[in-house]
Amino acid sequence: MVAGRHADIQVHEYAARKIKSAVTGNGAADKEQVLYMVKRLLKLKEDPLTLDASDALAIAICHGLNYKLSKLGT
């Protein structure tokens, strides 16, 4: 995050519950539920290679949804 700030790149933070809620509708979802919904939302034929990879994709989905909402409000 510090490197991003120093490079003048926007940095965004999301709580784990917010990410899980955005992707699954349940802020207490487990990693397998997140994986399942990421795969469905992105229409992937195969699972991401790791649960960490599906978490990263979930963060991107959450950010995309929040970015769209923030643009609608301006």
Q: Is residue 5 part of a domain?
A: no
Instruction: Give the mean pLDDT of the chain.
Output: 90
Q: Is residue 18 part of a domain?
A: yes
> CB-side exposure of 13: number of CA atoms within 13 Å?
5
DSSP state of 48: -
Q: Please write the tens of the pLDDT for every residue from 42-72.
A: 999 999 889 999 999 999 999 999 876 666 6
Q: Is residue 66 part of a domain?
A: yes
Q: Is residue 1 part of a domain?
A: no
pTM for the predicted model, two decimal places: 0.83
Q: Is residue 4 part of a domain?
A: no
**What pLDDT score was predicted for residue 46?**
94
Q: Which CATH number covers residue 44?
A: 3.30.420.10
Q: Is residue 67 part of a domain?
A: yes
